[in-house]
A and B are shown apart, each in its own frame.
Chain A
Amino acid sequence: MATTSPGQASHPADVDPVPEAHAPPGPVAALGGSAIDLFLGGKELLSVFIRTLYYSVRGKREKGAFTTQMYEIGNKSVFFLSITMGFIGMILVYQSGLQAKRVVPDYTMLGATYLELLVRDFAASIGALMLATRVGAGIAAEIGSMVVTEQVDALRMCAADPIDFLIVPRFKASVIMTTVLIVWAGTVAYLTGAATAYVAFDVAPQTFFNMALIDVGDVSVGLAKCLAYGAAIPVVSGYCGLSTFGGSEGVGWATTRAVVNTSLTIIILNFFISTAGFLIFPG
């Protein structure tokens, strides 16, 4: 290879290198641009998910990372989730009781119907939406800060894949702890619902605690949702964190996008898993 002689310069005087002026895009171009961005974003998100699964099996375990994330995602969410699900349980039973009173003034199946709804849908979906706000925002903010302070670049320089190093421990911890938390939160919502039914509608706990409507299909669908939401929260919010650009404003945007996108993903997954559940377990 040739060497460069001292003093060699390639500057063409003081010409501004940004000559093109860009006209604002029309509505069709803007719509097309958004569609392309959405497609590319979806493709990258899928790539992050596949790599997360790959490294979950083949990656190297970082000592302490998994248990730390179990504590961060699980233990630290218990109080928040218990309070919100407790109140939601009370509201749901009170509103259901008022509606039932107008149609059939019979509360014998109130507890059984409420339990079926909790197991099949509400506990997992509402609980996961609550977790998305706390856990998803936290993951995106932490990883986003690491991106803007070049710590993620430093990881890549050390041959540590950011997905393996940052997302995989959160993914494994979230799948387990989301399931555990939702079972716990569902129990809390059921108990506060029972208390509300007793106080507001005089339904005895023996009548309310009725498991007659619960079958394998309800438990399977509920469990599938727990696992799917537990996987979606760290992957979507981790992807939002890794795609951060700019400074602190970028981290703010990443956090907002994480909460919005994770919530949206939970609702879409809910639709597909519920539909599959009704097809597989029609009864």
Chain B
Amino acid sequence: MSVETGIRFQNIVKAFGPKRVLNGVSFDVHKGEVFFIIGASGVGKSVLIKHLVGLLYPDEGEIWLDGEEISKFDEVRMGPVRKKCAMVFQHSTLFDSMTCAENVALPLRKHKGLTLKESVAEAKRRLHVVHMQEFGDRYPPELGDGMRKRVAIARALTLEPEYVLFDEPTTSLDPVSARRVDKLIRELSDTLGVTSIVVSHDLSSIFTIADRIVMLYKGHVRLLGTRDDFKHTPDGVVNQFINGRAQGPMDL
């Protein structure tokens, strides 16, 4: 079966002061797949995906999105990239002073120039997709973590992106809410053809919904493959991580 590459990271290097977090990371993400980036805390998973939407810029390397090199785009040229690639942040990052509907409406107002009334009406329809239509007029602090996460996903989907970046979407959620978010991510890919890049260490999510997985370790790609490739790898570091063992060859 032929696959089309949507995103390519090529020799990405990123340092913060003397600390080199990413040291030549390269891999491709295929269109329509659910792609997981895994690795220990602080290995640079979130840092890597932020490069794709211009929230960070690489020191070296190239990032290709649909055949276009975007790693040197300025804030203005990043606008269309951010419409195409939405991001769901780790802590939902909803604005507490706005209702859920107004939060979801913000990208419509800013990217598409809709009025507040038009955008809120559209936002309420978007909330329906994540089963949060009843909470449009509520403020984020009144909701639980799982509900806030779903509103954040609705906000990310508002502009009908082709790619959605999820930064630890199930962290701090109860198991039921976490599985609901997993289901939503899978549905996005299966029904709408959205490509999802998920940063996670939730083993349950990884081995339930991932099409392909990449593991980062010490600034490099340690292993790139399918769920089966990960389950059957002889690599001790990968084995220790995916089995969640305290003892092993991993150097943390």
Closest to A64 in B: B97
- Return the contact of A157 from the options B82, B220, B221, B229 (Cβ within 8 A): B82
**What residues of B have a CB within 8 angstroms of the CB of A20 in the complex?**
18
Q: Is B133 an interface residue, CB under 8 A from the partner? A: no
Q: Is A7 an interface residue, CB under 8 A from the partner? A: yes
Closest to B249 in A: A14
A154 touches B89 (CB 8 A): yes
Q: Is B223 an interface residue, CB under 8 A from the partner? A: yes
A102-151 interface with B by 8 A CB criterion: 149-151
A11 touches B222 (CB 8 A): yes
Interface of A is mostly: loop
Q: Is B144 an interface residue, CB under 8 A from the partner? A: no
Q: A156 and B55 in contact (CB under 8 A), knowing A10-B24, A17-B218, A18-B20?
A: yes
Interface of B is mostly: mixed
B219 touches A7 (CB 8 A): no
**What residues of B have a CB within 8 angstroms of the CB of A15 in the complex?**
218
Q: Is B106 an interface residue, CB under 8 A from the partner? A: yes
A151 touches B95 (CB 8 A): yes
**Assembly CA distance A17 to B53 (angstroms):** 25
B30 touches A153 (CB 8 A): no
A1-27 interface with B by 8 A CB criterion: 1-4, 6-12, 14-18, 20, 22
Closest to B3 in A: A3
The smallest beta-carbon distance between A66 and chain B, in angstroms, is 14
Number of chain A interface residues as a range: 20 to 34
**What residues of A have a CB within 8 angstroms of the CB of B19 in the complex?**
18
Q: A6 and B212 in contact (CB under 8 A), knowing A11-B217, A17-B219?
A: yes
A-B contact count (CB 8 A): 101
A7 touches B53 (CB 8 A): no
B218 touches A16 (CB 8 A): yes
Q: Is B240 an interface residue, CB under 8 A from the partner? A: no
B86 touches A6 (CB 8 A): no
A3 touches B217 (CB 8 A): no
Q: Is B174 an interface residue, CB under 8 A from the partner? A: no
The smallest beta-carbon distance between B111 and chain A, in angstroms, is 5
**What residues of A have a CB within 8 angstroms of the CB of B82 in the complex?**
156-157, 159
B64 touches A1 (CB 8 A): yes
Number of chain B interface residues as a range: 35 or more
B225 touches A6 (CB 8 A): yes
The smallest beta-carbon distance between A138 and chain B, in angstroms, is 15
Q: A149 and B93 in contact (CB under 8 A), knowing A1-B64, A9-B223, A159-B82?
A: yes
**Assembly CA distance A6 to B230 (angstroms):** 10
**Assembly CA distance A27 to B110 (angstroms):** 48
A6 touches B18 (CB 8 A): no
**Most chain B beta-carbon contacts within 10 A, residue among A6, A12, A151, A158:** A158
**Assembly CA distance A149 to B218 (angstroms):** 25
Residues 208-243 of B, flagged 1 when their CB comes within 8 A of A and 0 if not, give 000010000111111111100100000001000000
Q: A158 and B8 in contact (CB under 8 A), knowing A14-B218, A15-B218, A150-B90?
A: no
B30 touches A10 (CB 8 A): no
- Return the contact of A11 from the options B86, B110, B221, B225 (Cβ within 8 A): B221
Q: Is A46 an interface residue, CB under 8 A from the partner? A: no
B67 touches A1 (CB 8 A): yes
Q: Is B203 an interface residue, CB under 8 A from the partner? A: no
Closest to A149 in B: B91
Q: Is B50 an interface residue, CB under 8 A from the partner? A: yes
Closest to A15 in B: B218
Q: Is B244 an interface residue, CB under 8 A from the partner? A: no
**Assembly CA distance A6 to B3 (angstroms):** 12
**What residues of B have a CB within 8 angstroms of the CB of A156 in the complex?**
54-55, 75, 82
Q: Is A160 an interface residue, CB under 8 A from the partner? A: yes
The smallest beta-carbon distance between B165 and chain A, in angstroms, is 9
Q: A1 and B8 in contact (CB under 8 A), knowing A9-B222, A11-B220, A159-B107?
A: yes
- Show 21 residue pairs from A and B whose CB-CB distance is below 8 angstroms, ordered by the A residue: A3-B28, A3-B30, A8-B224, A9-B224, A10-B221, A11-B217, A14-B237, A14-B251, A17-B219, A20-B18, A149-B93, A150-B89, A153-B93, A154-B87, A156-B75, A157-B87, A157-B107, A158-B107, A158-B110, A158-B155, A159-B107
Closest 7 CB pairs of A and B: A17-B23, A17-B219, A159-B110, A154-B93, A6-B225, A11-B220, A1-B5
